[in-house]
A and B are shown apart, each in its own frame.
Chain A
């Protein structure tokens, strides 16, 4: 159906790929680990973080020298909508 393009484009989008990867890591998503796991270049990865954070989907939390990526409620909802089989 026509609306399937929404899911397909969200899956291909760097932000979508980033959110899904962060969602898989759960609460312990270290930034470096996510960068290693997600299929994006370093530049794309950083731009995706910036865009997602600016859009209120993601948060960076710096704790004792480590940096964690956490999804906001909106980010979590978007990641789940992307991952749910249609």
Chain B
């Protein structure tokens, strides 16, 4: 009787914790809201207006060309960041590292236009073609190399690529580290104390069900990654749960993940009330250590060799 009361009390506390977590997590999202979008549109419209007024009154064609090339280069860098950090592209864009990445790309395009104008002024006569060639082609040119030298086991490009590659790698690492800090701060709070069985089986299913257009190959890749995490013999259970959360965060975004966990934790609380434990998806580890099995394995290997293959 006392044990039943204890279980009920634990379940009620769990339900209350889940409800509190739900209320707290409602703010965690990476969706672009109307307010933010309108603010962005306003800023862009103001910049375009300012640019139009400036170039009409004070600017010349050369300045306009360099400005457009700068924008094209920056836009290319921006799209690269958007494609690379699928967990939360908006958060990635807002980081200082992303600004460096975008600026490196933008100035790369400007440098390409300058080189084009200085060394081959007659190669491309049309201003529009020059802008497009420098804007889009800059990354290709600045990533080219005269030859590749082998330093240790790594091949190093010798040419314009060495400068741009190093700068881009630096900026990319800055964005990646920024995202890592955000994810480290967020994942423990988001995933809470979800059991591994729920995190590895129910959570991905629920995320896939919530997303309507997640491609089949992406789903398969997510499931493969989760399988690799869950069946790893060296990771602890808590680390596995967090890694499953991180894998899902990268593919479905923090908003979907948080929503799915909230649904699941309500379900977990209900399961606790009805005393239905989650089924383990990996068998419990035996007593002792793997080293204890070695003498028997050595004997069996010798035996099998004697028997002949």
Q: How far is the CB of A16 from chain B (nearest CB, A)?
A: 9
B293: CB under 8 A from chain A?
yes
Q: Are A6 and B229 in contact (CB under 8 A)?
A: yes
Write the A1-29 contact mask toward B (1 if CB under 8 angstroms, else 0): 11100110010000100000000000000
**With contact pairs A46-B297, A47-B294 given, residues A30 and B304 touching in the complex (Cβ less than 8 Å):** yes
**Contacting residues, chain B, for A50 (C-beta < 8 A):** 290-294, 297
**B286 to chain A: which residues have CB within 8 Å?**
54
Contact call A6/B290, Cβ cutoff below 8 A: no
Contact B233 A66 (CB under 8 A): no
Cβ B290 vs Cβ A47 within 8 A:
yes
Across the interface, do B283 and A56 meet the contact criterion of CB distance under 8 Å?
Answer: yes
Rounded to whole Å, the gap between the CB of A38 and the closest CB of chain B is 12
Q: Any chain B CB within 8 A of the CB of A74?
A: yes
Closest residue of A by beta carbon distance from B302: A32
> How many Å lie between the Cα of A52 and that of B307 in the bound state?
24
Answer yes or no: B238 CB below 8 A from chain A CBs: no
Given A3-B250, A7-B224, A31-B300: A74 and B231 within 8 A (CB)?
Answer: yes
Interface of A is mostly: helix
Chain B contacts for A2, CB-based, 8 A: 176, 250
**In chain B between 207 and 233, which residues have their CB closer than 8 angstroms to a CB of chain A?**
220-221, 223-225, 227-233
List, in ascending order, chain A residues with CB within 8 A of B290's CB: 47, 50-51, 53-54
Chain A residues with Cβ below 8 Å from B282 are 55-56, 74
Task: Report the bound CA distance from A65 to B300 in whole Å.
Answer: 9
Q: Is B9 an interface residue when CB atoms closer than 8 A count as contact?
A: no
**A interface bracket (residues with beta carbon within 8 Å of B):** 35 or more
Instruction: List residues 45-83 of chain A with CB under 8 A from any CB of chain B.
Output: 45-47, 49-57, 60, 62, 65-67, 72, 74-75, 77-78, 80-82
- Rounded to whole angstroms, the CA-CA distance of A1 and B250 in the bound complex is 9
Given that A46-B297, A52-B233 are known contacts, is A10 also in contact with B291, CB under 8 Å in the complex? no
Q: Give B87's nearest chain A residue, CB to CB.
A: A2
Is B247's CB within 8 Å of the partner chain A? yes
Say which residue of A7, A36, A46 sits within 8 Å of B228 (CB atoms). Answer: A7
Contact A60 B86 (CB under 8 A): no
Q: Would you call A31 and B304 a contact (CB within 8 A)?
A: yes
B298 within 8 A of A: yes
Which residues of A have CB within 8 Å of B289? 54
Q: Which residue of B lies closest to A2 (CB)?
A: B250
Contact A46 B301 (CB under 8 A): yes
The docked-state distance in angstroms from the alpha carbon of A49 to that of B185 is 37
Residues of A within 8 A of B306 (CB): 65
Residue B309, interface by CB 8 Å: yes
Interface residues of A (CB under 8 A from B): 1-3, 6-7, 10, 15, 30-33, 35-36, 42, 45-47, 49-57, 60, 62, 65-67, 72, 74-75, 77-78, 80-82, 84, 86
24 A–B contacts from the bound complex (CB under 8 Å): A2-B250, A3-B221, A3-B250, A6-B228, A7-B228, A10-B232, A32-B301, A32-B307, A46-B294, A50-B291, A51-B233, A52-B233, A54-B233, A55-B233, A55-B282, A60-B300, A62-B300, A62-B303, A67-B303, A74-B281, A77-B227, A81-B223, A81-B227, A81-B231
Which residues of B are interface residues toward A (Cβ below 8 A)?
84, 86, 176, 220-221, 223-225, 227-233, 247, 250, 281-283, 285-286, 289-294, 297-298, 300-301, 303-307, 309
Extra contacts besides A53-B290, A65-B303 (5): CB < 8 Å: A10-B232, A15-B233, A32-B307, A50-B291, A81-B224
